[in-house]
């Protein structure tokens, strides 16, 4: 029982959470981290205020319809830093297939998943996030992280052979999301009255799309243990598909639980969109709860600017009323990761 409190994190992380659950182990520190005494959880029933944006309306031939949806988009991203996308053109049956293949992957025997296992200090592959700084908590989750675009970044050794359809579905899904990012990036620019392709240009032709499939095993102590600790993403923005409740977004000191709307995708701003929009859009802190009965699956696609390119606030968003908040930065995702490992945000590094 005392195992977890005496073993270092790198040893703990060499055993998957899923194995611990199968062995009937009780969560121990450093998995135990929740201290919510000062936070307020808004019931799911009242979390429906997380805005919906119908992407099909953004290109409506009726100008007033498109304009109205763009206004909603701008307001959603400046207040929440995220929205629930509908009308995105990806059929629900395909989203179900993605959820299904993700679940099937994790529900295979450990031996099969082990074929694409990462080392405890590596990022890509199946396992847990690399060992965090001392004193940091561990997440009650297992994940597989894959570089998908640019295509030459793919590392076949980490791509599962089973389930047979896994690679095809993940690739197809990421390609569909990539198409969506074009619409979203252009619409975000339009909503701020800046040149339509300005964000797309900053992301660059070698923008990264990375897939992270998460499996949150049931946890006997959801009151003490988190599936994923509070954080903001280091991406440009992230597109999340989920199959059960658990993801919470922090706004005005309260935690709002993302409801399940099977045909919707959550579009969540990362720090780099906050930088490029000169703070007009916010990158929200979010976390994942555990639950005692069901395993939850999610698929996050991180869309990030080419790490070789410098990014910064759009000139058109800097003026007397709104001076420059951020400076130019390069490879921010990497800087972010260093802070993330210490349980901190990195945005201050980019402050002007």
Ligand X SMILES: O=C(O)CCC(=O)C(=O)O
Binding site for Fe ion (CB under 5 A): 233
When CB distances to ligand X are compared, the closest residue is 298
Q: Give whichever of 184 and 228 is closer to ligand X, judged by the CB atom.
A: 228
Torsion of CA 246, 96, 123, 119, to 10 degrees: 100
Asked if 346 and 339 touch (Cβ cutoff 8 Å), the reply is: yes
Give the tokens for residue 291: 């639950």
- Judged by beta carbon, residue 201 or residue 244, the one nearer ligand X is 244
Cβ distance to Fe ion smaller for residue 129 or 233: 233
- If the CB atoms of residues 76 and 239 are measured against Fe ion, the closer one turns out to be 239
Phi, psi dihedral angles at 324 (to 5 degrees): -60, 125
| Minimum distance from residue 133 beta carbon to ligand X (Å) | 18
Closest distance of CB 37 from ligand X, Å: 23
HEC assignment per residue over 49-74: HCCEEEHHHHCCCCHHHHHHHHHHHH
Q: Which residue has the tokens 């922090």?
A: 250
Nearer to ligand X, 210 or 277 (CB): 210
Q: Which residue, 233 or 314, has its beta carbon nearer to ligand X?
A: 233
Least distance (Å) between residue 71 CB and ligand X: 27
Q: Within 10 Å of residue 211's Cβ, how many Cβ atoms?
A: 22
Q: Least distance in Å: CB of 288 to ligand X? A: 5
Least distance from Fe ion to the Cβ atom of residue 267, Å = 12
Nearer to Fe ion, 69 or 233 (CB): 233
Q: In terms of CB distance, is 217 or 298 closer to ligand X?
A: 298
Residue 247, binding choice from ligand X, Fe ion, none, Cβ under 5 to 8 Å by partner class: ligand X
Q: Which of ligand X, Fe ion, none interacts with 211 (beta carbon under 5 to 8 A by kind)?
A: none
Cβ neighbours of residue 291 under 8 Å, at least 6 residues apart? Answer: 218, 219, 222, 244, 245, 246
CB of 239 to Fe ion, least distance (A): 11
Q: Which option in Fe ion, ligand X, none does residue 212 bind, with CB closer than 5 to 8 A by kind?
A: ligand X
Sheet strands side by side (includes 254-257): 40-42, 254-257, 247-251, 286-289, 226-231
User: Which of Fe ion, ligand X, none sits in contact with 350, Cβ below 5 to 8 A by type?
Assistant: none
CB 234 to ligand X: min, Å: 9
What is the C-alpha to C-alpha distance for residues 104 and 96, in angstroms, rounded to an integer? 12
Burial letters for 299-312: b for 16+ Cβ neighbours within 10 Å, e otherwise?
Answer: bbbbbbbbeebebb
Q: Using CB distances below 5 to 8 A depending on partner kind, what does residue 298 bind out of ligand X, Fe ion, none?
A: ligand X
Neighbouring C-beta atoms of residue 153, cutoff 10 Å: 14
Q: Which residues of 319-328 are buried (b: 16+ CB within 10 A; e: fewer)?
A: eeeeebbbee
What is the SS3 assignment for 309?
coil
242 binds, among Fe ion, ligand X, none (CB under 5 to 8 A by kind): ligand X
Burial of 120 by CB count in 10 Å (0-12 exposed, 13-18 middle, 19+ buried)?
middle
State the minimum distance, in angstroms, from the CB of residue 242 to ligand X: 5
Q: Among Fe ion, ligand X, none, what does residue 214 contact (CB within 5–8 Å per kind)?
A: ligand X
Q: Which residues in this chain contact ligand X in the complex, by CB under 6 A?
A: 212, 214, 228, 233, 240, 242, 247, 286, 288, 298, 300
């Amino acid at each position: 029982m005392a195992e977890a409190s005496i073993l270092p994190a790198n040893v703990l992380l060499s055993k998957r959470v899923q194995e611990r659950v199968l062995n009937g182990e009780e969560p121990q520190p450093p998995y135990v981290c929740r201290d919510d005494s000062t936070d307020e959880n808004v019931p799911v029933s009242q979390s429906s205020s997380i805005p919906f944006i119908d992407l099909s309306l953004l290109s409506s031939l009726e100008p007033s319809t498109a304009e109205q949806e763009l206004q909603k988009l701008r307001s959603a991203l400046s207040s929440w830093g995220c929205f629930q996308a509908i009308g995105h053109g990806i059929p629900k049956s395909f989203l179900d297939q993605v959820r299904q293949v993700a679940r099937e992957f994790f529900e295979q025997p450990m031996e099969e998943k082990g074929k694409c296992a990462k080392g405890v200090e590596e990022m890509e592959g199946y396992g847990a996030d690399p060992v965090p700084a001392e004193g940091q908590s561990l997440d009650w989750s297992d994940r597989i992280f894959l570089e998908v675009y640019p295509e030459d970044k793919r590392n076949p050794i980490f791509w599962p052979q089973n389930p047979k359809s896994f690679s095809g579905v993940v690739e197809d899904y990421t390609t569909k999301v990539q198409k969506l990012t074009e619409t979203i990036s252009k619409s975000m620019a339009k909503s701020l009255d800046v040149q339509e392709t300005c964000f797309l240009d900053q992301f660059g032709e070698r923008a990264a799309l990375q897939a992270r499939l998460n499996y949150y095993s049931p946890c006997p102590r959801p009151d003490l243990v988190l599936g994923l600790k509070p954080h903001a993403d280091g991406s440009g923005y992230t597109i999340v598909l989920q199959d059960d409740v658990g993801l919470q977004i922090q706004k005005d000191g309260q935690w709002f639980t993302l409801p399940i709307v099977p045909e919707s995708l959550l579009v969540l701003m990362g720090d780099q969109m906050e930088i490029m929009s000169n703070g007009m859009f916010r990158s929200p802190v979010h976390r994942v709860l555990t639950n005692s009965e069901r395993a939850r699956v999610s698929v996050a696609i991180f869309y990030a600017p080419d790490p070789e390119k410098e990014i910064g606030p759009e000139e058109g968003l800097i003026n007397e009323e709104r001076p420059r908040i951020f400076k130019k930065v390069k490879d921010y995702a990497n800087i972010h990761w260093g802070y993330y490992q210490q349980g901190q945000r990195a945005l201050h590094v980019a402050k002007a």
